[in-house]
């Protein structure tokens, strides 16, 4: 079904939603129709003119049910938005309609040992602040930790800081339960537990509106920050692999940036020796002594270090990792873009070495070490000197030809990004809970092919 030619009955919709906060100002609606897809020149071209017609801000599950029922009645598409920190246009409405802003649903409903129950609009940093009072913290989070909401992270993310220990969101146990509002003629609330949560997780809001989550927590540590400088990139990468593999050293982040990436980090320039390749890490204070021994073994130089107390104030190293690395580089040169790459499970890092030498500064190496299926592996968020669409595709094709798997960040289609295959579980659940295809239309390839 195509919505572009339909004139939505917004007047009747808004009348039925009287009492809710409704935004119609064109500038505000435009702002709330965007995310950080601008990292990709291809997505800029595809999404820059996409806008919603109206924004409805909600603060409770009951209000979500009201909005869902009104949208179904008038057959108006609905796109869910949290903090809007995604990178692939996840919350950009392709067919107009209603933007459902859930950022006002911010409650941390309860915290128990190892588990928290939260609303989707709760910011990750706010959840952590509350859970750390009882000795627990979020297992993993993106570099947009201060701004990102938990609902958006679960709906559109895959992993982040903490993944070096706990793997990815898709790994069993990293999400415990969800409450989801459906888009049927009579919308209702469905509770998903156990493996059923993956019917909705990482589906970009195409098959249900998340209104509550139960997430696992990790023991909270005092996280020290350090930057280790190296003269040689592959030595820095092998140090990252070794640190990831060091089970006795408690760590939360292992980020490797090849020169010249550190030159884009304005606030850190005075701390990093010129021409260096760096490892930026979060290590528990109780592990600093063995960490120092590992640095010594690889011939690195600790050029920057903060205690957990010092790191709790101001900008943290987290905000130079993951896609914040790209953000800092683009703030200097907006023509830069990026890749997302999973390198092979190879302790010698042969493919990484080959690609680093092949591309040089055209594809600047940025690695984040994570746990994948029990093994520590580097994922790349390489920063690319963009020239043309064809050249970018050539670079991605060459990576895959040598065994480096690309999670394409230059598409707004769910299955064309990381999955590369149709998720039948997502499709079957959408058929059940969104039979009219009103949720974030145009993003799920399986649904589009079903209609064709």
* Torsion (CA) 382, 383, 389, 394 in degrees, nearest 10: -40
Q: How much of the chain, in percent, has pLDDT values that exceed 70?
A: 97
Model confidence band, residue 3 (pLDDT cutoffs 50, 70, 90):
very low
Sign of the C-alpha dihedral, residues 288, 344, 141, 337? positive
Helix (H, G, I), strand (E, B) or coil at 373: coil
Q: Measured between alpha carbons, how far is 124 from 68 in angstroms, rounded to an integer? A: 26
Longest CA–CA separation in the chain, Å: 69
pLDDT band of residue 381 (cuts 50, 70, 90) is very high
Task: Give the number of other CB atoms < 10 A from CB of residue 322.
Answer: 24
Mean pLDDT over 36-45 rounds to 96
Is the pLDDT assigned to residue 329 strictly greater than 80?
A: yes
pLDDT of residue 416: 87
User: By CB neighbour count within 10 A (0-12 exposed, 13-18 middle, 19+ buried), where does 194 fall?
Assistant: exposed
* Confidence label for 450 from pLDDT (cuts 50, 70 and 90): confident
Closest CA to 77 of 26, 187, 1, 153: 1
41-55, 131-145, 415-429: least confidently modelled range? 415-429
pLDDT for 417 equals: 79
Q: Residue 299 in contact with residue 230, Cβ under 8 Å? A: yes
Dump pLDDT digits (tens) for 393-411. Answer: 999 999 999 999 999 999 9
pLDDT for 173 beyond 50: yes
Q: In degrees rounded to 5, what are phi and psi of residue 251?
A: -140, 160
pLDDT at 449: 86
Residue 451 clears pLDDT 70, i.e. is over it: no
The answer to whether the beta carbons of residues 206 and 430 sit under 8 Å apart is: yes
**Is pLDDT above 90 for 422?**
no
Strands (E), 237-330: 251-257, 277-284, 301-306
Q: 91-120: per-residue pLDDT in tens?
A: 999 999 999 999 999 999 999 999 999 999
Among 381, 378, 353, smallest CA distance to 366 is for 381
- Confidence class of residue 2 from pLDDT cuts 50, 70 and 90? very low
Write the pLDDT tens digit of every residue in 304-317. 999 999 999 888 99
First to last CA, the chain: 9
More confident residue, 274 or 418: 274
Burial class, 132, CB count within 10 angstroms (exposed 0-12 / middle 13-18 / buried 19+): middle
The pLDDT tens digits for 235-246 are 999 999 999 999
pTM for the whole structure: 0.95
Which residues of 194-286 form beta strands (DSSP E)? 209-219, 223-230, 251-257, 277-284
For the chain, how many helices (H) and strands (E)?
15, 21
Is the pLDDT score of 79 beyond 90? yes
Q: Please write the tens of the pLDDT for every residue from 183-205.
A: 999 999 999 999 999 999 999 99
pLDDT on residue 7:
81
| Cα 37 from Cα 35, distance rounded (Å) | 6
φ and ψ of 104, to 5 deg: -80, -10
Cα–chain center distance at 309: 27
Averaged pLDDT for residues 326-349? 97
Rounded to an integer, what distance in angstroms lies between the CA atom of residue 245 and that of residue 184? 48
Mean pLDDT of 22-35: 97
The structure tokens 């670079």 sit at 395
Q: How far are the Cα atoms of 8, 115, 138 from residue 73, in angstroms, in the given order?
A: 11, 37, 39
Mean pLDDT computed over 233-257: 98
Q: Is 211 helix (H, G, I), strand (E, B) or coil?
A: strand
Retrieve residue 327's tokens.
Answer: 């953000």
Q: Does residue 418 have a pLDDT over 80?
A: no
Position 423 scores a pLDDT of 78
DSSP states of 51-106: --SEEEE--SHHHHHHHHHHHHHHT--EEEESS---SS-TT--TT--EEEE-TT--
Instruction: State the average pLDDT for the chain.
Output: 95
**pLDDT beyond 70 at 211:** yes
């Amino acid at each position: 079904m195509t919505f572009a030619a339909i004139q939505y009955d917004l007047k009747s919709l808004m009348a039925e939603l009287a009492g809710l906060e409704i935004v119609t100002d064109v500038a505000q609606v435009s702002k709330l129709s965007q995310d950080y897809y601008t990292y990709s020149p291809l997505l800029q071209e595809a999404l820059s003119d996409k806008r919603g017609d109206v924004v409805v801000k909600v603060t409770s599950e009951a209000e979500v049910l009201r909005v869902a029922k009104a949208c179904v009645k008038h057959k108006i598409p609905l796109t869910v938005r949290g903090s809007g920190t995604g990178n692939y246009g996840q919350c950009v409405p392709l067919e107009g309609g209603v933007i459902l802003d859930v950022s006002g649903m911010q409650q941390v409903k309860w915290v128990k040992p190892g588990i928290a129950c939260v609303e989707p609009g709760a910011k990750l940093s706010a959840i952590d602040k509350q859970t750390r009072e009882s000795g627990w913290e979020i297992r993993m989070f993106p570099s947009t930790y201060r701004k990102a909401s938990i609902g958006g992270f679960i709906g559109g993310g895959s992993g982040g800081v903490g993944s070096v220990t706990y793997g990815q969101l898709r790994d069993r146990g990293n999400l415990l339960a969800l409450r989801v509002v459906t888009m049927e003629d009579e919308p209702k609330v469905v509770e998903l537990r156990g493996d059923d949560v993956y019917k909705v997780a990482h589906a970009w809001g195409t098959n249900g509106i998340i209104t509550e989550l139960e997430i696992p927590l990790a023991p909270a540590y005092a996280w020290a920050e350090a930057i280790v400088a190296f003269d040689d990139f592959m030595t820095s990468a092998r140090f990252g692999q070794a640190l990831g593999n060091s089970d006795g050293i408690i760590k939360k982040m292992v980020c490797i940036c090849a020169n010249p990436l550190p030159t884009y980090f304005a606030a850190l320039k005075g701390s990093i020796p010129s021409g260096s390749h760096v490892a930026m890490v979060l290590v528990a204070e109780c592990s600093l002594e063995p960490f120092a021994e590992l640095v010594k073994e690889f011939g690195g130089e600790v050029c920057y270090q903060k205690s957990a107390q010092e790191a709790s104030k101001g900008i943290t190293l987290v905000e130079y990792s993951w896609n914040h690395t790209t953000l800092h580089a683009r703030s200097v040169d907006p023509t830069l873009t990026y890749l997302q790459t999973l390198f092979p499970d190879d302790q010698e890092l042969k493919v990484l070495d080959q690609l680093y030498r092949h591309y040089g500064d055209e594809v600047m190496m940025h690695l984040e070490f994570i746990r994948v299926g029990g093994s520590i592996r580097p994922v790349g968020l390489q920063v690319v000197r963009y020239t043309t669409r064809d050249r970018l595709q050539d670079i991605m094709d060459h990576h895959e030809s040598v065994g480096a798997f690309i999670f394409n960040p230059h598409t707004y289609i769910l299955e064309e990004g990381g999955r590369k295959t149709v998720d039948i579980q997502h499709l079957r659940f959408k058929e059940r809970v969104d039979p009219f295809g009103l949720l974030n239309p145009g993003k799920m390839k399986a649904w589009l092919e079903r209609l064709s």
